[in-house]
Amino acid sequence: MTTTPSTLPLTELRLSPDEAAETARLALELAREYPSADSGSLLQDLPLLAARLPERVRRFLRAFQLDQAGGYCTISGHLVDDGRIGPTPAHWRDEQRVHRELPEEILVLLYASLLGEPFGWATQQDGHLVNDVFPVKEYETLLLGTGSRTALTLHTEDAFHPYRADYIILASLRNPDRVPVVVAEADFTSLPEDVLDVLFEHRFRIISDDSHLPHNNTVSTAEDRRIFDNISRLISGLGLVPVLFGSRTDPLLCFDATHMSPPDDDPEAVRAFAAAHELLTHNTRPCALDAGTFVFLNNHRVVHGRSSFTARYDGTDRWLKRVNVTHDLRKSRSLRRSVGARLIG
Ligand SMILES: NC(=[NH2+])NCCC[C@H](N)C(=O)O
Ligand SMILES: O=C(O)CCC(=O)C(=O)O
Ligand SMILES: [Fe+2]
């Protein structure tokens, strides 16, 4: 006989003062022990270290991972010492910068290891495992996480990639203007049967977003060129993809309002894509990201975006950390350099 939990798991966990203090102590201690978020020994030890997180947090993320909660959830109340992390940087490309926010980078990796395995893209932010999301002046008007003036349209993270993340974690370190991430989760079975049929079929074009393009990364070595040649070959060979997959009664989703499109000569696909976009737009909700709030997105169940905002460029800008998590590192082995390598590309 199977038993179901008597109380539904929450989609929002607020750390108690004790839990917040305990979590901050652990993160600070680990930041003294491990040199960086890309450290091999840290990756090796993650599950052991994550066992030291508060029990309530571990139970909460376990329920989320087992799909017993909604398509996204938050853990709030983390103590982020605004003075200790220092000013929001001007650019992620700065190998000299001391990451005073290493405790928070380690914390997102600990959470990642409760959901699966953290991984990164060799073609994004020069291949760091934990990425930065803050406004960068040179990208101000671009459709990038590091843009600001242009709203981020609803998207599955890295929708184009067959090995895209199962979960995305966004951790807010600073957000003075309270710019939320917007999240959309919808019941696609509410759409007419014929529209649903089309959304399950390989009838939609897809391309990568601009964060994977060589001109938004550092390409200097022959190895860098090989990596970007590979991904551009992968993108041109993608063909048509479905919007929905998996269970017909509880479909999973892969959608990008900007980088996915129905072919002009397929009116049914045009109509179905518009219906999907409209359904998602109607089910969009802001998820507040105050400093110390971490959001966990199921990348197959929700899409996310962000409205435009005015950047400050004075060290006080909104600053998030982002990490990709997969249930299965092995499936991407052909695109990773070695068995233990965490970067796809
Ligand atoms: N459809 C979109 N809005 N895509 C924007 C994706 C942002 C991208 N993941 C980045 O890191 O910058
Ligand atoms: O800034 C946000 O709230 C979302 C950023 C985002 O979607 C991304 O970096 O992919
Ligand atoms: Fe995103």
Q: State the pLDDT at residue 6.
A: 47
Q: Is the per-residue pLDDT at 1 higher than 90?
A: no
For residues 205-213, average pLDDT: 94
Average pLDDT over residues 285-293: 97
Mean pLDDT for 177-193 is 98
Ligand 3 centroid–CA 7 distance in Å is 31
Residue-wise burial string across 255-289, b where 16 or more C-beta atoms lie within 10 A, e elsewhere: bbbebbebeeebeebbebbebbbebbeeebeebeb
Confidence category of residue 275, pLDDT binned at 50, 70, 90: very high
* Check: complex ipTM more than 0.90: yes
Residue 142 has pLDDT above 50, yes or no: yes
The DSSP H or E segment spanning 267 is: helix 267-282
Minimum-distance ligand 1 atom for the alpha carbon of 131: 11
User: Is the sign of the CA dihedral 265, 269, 270, 271 positive or negative?
Assistant: positive
For residue 320, give both structure tokens. Answer: 């998030």
Assigned CATH topology for domain 11-90+98-185+205-239+283-332: Double-stranded beta-helix (3.60.130)
Atom of ligand 1 nearest to the CA of 146: 12
| Amino acid 69: pLDDT | 84
The average pLDDT across 200-223 equals 93
Ranges 7-16, 257-266, 302-311, 336-345: which has the least confidence = 7-16
**Rounded to the nearest 10 degrees, how much is the dihedral formed by the CA atoms of 141, 99, 74, 41?**
130
* SS3 at position 72: strand
Q: Exposure pattern of 120-141 as b/e (b: 16+ CB <10 Å)?
A: bbbbbbbbbbbbbbbbbeebbe
87 pLDDT more than 50: yes
Stretch among 3-17, 69-83, 88-102, 104-118 having the lowest mean pLDDT: 3-17
Q: What is the pLDDT of residue 61?
A: 98
**Entry pTM:** 0.96
Question: Would you call 186 helix, strand, or coil by DSSP?
Answer: coil
Question: What mean pLDDT, rounded, does the chain reach?
Answer: 95
Residue 157 CA: nearest ligand 2 atom is 10
> Which of the listed residues 133, 183, 258 should we mutate to test ligand 2's pocket, taking the one with most ligand atoms within 8 A of CB?
133
Q: Is the dihedral of CA 60, 61, 65, 69 positive or negative?
A: positive
Sorted by sequence, the CB contacts under 8 Å of residue 161 that are 6+ apart come out as 208, 234, 344
Test site for ligand 1: of 124, 133, 140, 143, most ligand atoms within 8 A of the Cβ: 143
E-strand ranges in 167-314 read 167-174, 181-184, 205-206, 244-245, 252-253, 260-261, 284-287, 294-298, 303-306
- Dist. CA 218–CA 330, nearest whole Å: 27
pLDDT digits (tens, 9 = 90+) for 291-334: 999 999 999 999 999 999 999 999 999 999 999 999 999 999 99
Q: What letter would DSSP give residue 204?
A: B
Per-residue pLDDT at 15: 98
- pLDDT of amino acid 126: 86
Per-residue pLDDT band at 246 (split at 50, 70, 90): very high
- Nearest ligand, measured from the Cα of 172: 2
Does residue 257 carry a pLDDT above 50?
yes
